[in-house]
């Protein structure tokens, strides 16, 4: 980014036109400067994935109610469950199941 030395506004890039080379020009005053060399700037940003904290801790899971629902992973017939309002109030609550044997978690709307 370049700024105008006269008024301080950000200079705009103008494409080459006829015999005039590419240049930076100020949108508010008559200042313009020719671009003499090409510059390519790259910026790499490395995203760091943060670990997600579980919604329910192991102590919370010990106190959850149990029901007889088959687990889709191991076919165990018992699972603990909790209901959470994840959408608007006029939508049904989402039921989160956790298998008591393999700890697989799945949902039911």
- Containing 34, the helix (H) or strand (E) segment is strand 32-34
Q: Establish whether 33 is an annotated binding residue.
A: no
Cβ neighbourhood burial of 81 (10 Å; 0-12, 13-18, 19+): middle
Helix, strand, or coil here: 87?
A: coil
Cβ neighbourhood burial of 80 (10 Å; 0-12, 13-18, 19+): buried
Contact 84/71 with Cβ under 8 angstroms?
Answer: no
Annotated binding site: 4, 7, 26, 29, 71, 74, 99, 102
Question: Would you list which residues are annotated within the binding site for Zn(2+)?
Answer: 4, 7, 26, 29, 71, 74, 99, 102
């Amino acid at each position: 980014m370049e700024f105008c030395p006269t008024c301080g506004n950000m200079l705009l890039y103008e494409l080459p036109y006829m015999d005039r080379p590419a240049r930076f020009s100020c949108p508010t005053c008559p200042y313009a400067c020719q671009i003499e060399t090409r510059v390519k700037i790259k910026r790499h940003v490395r995203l760091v994935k943060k670990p997600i904290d579980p919604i329910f801790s192991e102590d919370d899971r010990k106190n959850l109610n149990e029901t007889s629902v088959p687990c889709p992973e191991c076919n165990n017939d018992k699972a603990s469950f909790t209901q959470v309002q994840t959408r608007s109030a006029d939508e049904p609550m989402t039921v989160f199941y956790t298998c008591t044997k393999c700890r697989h978690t799945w949902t039911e709307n």
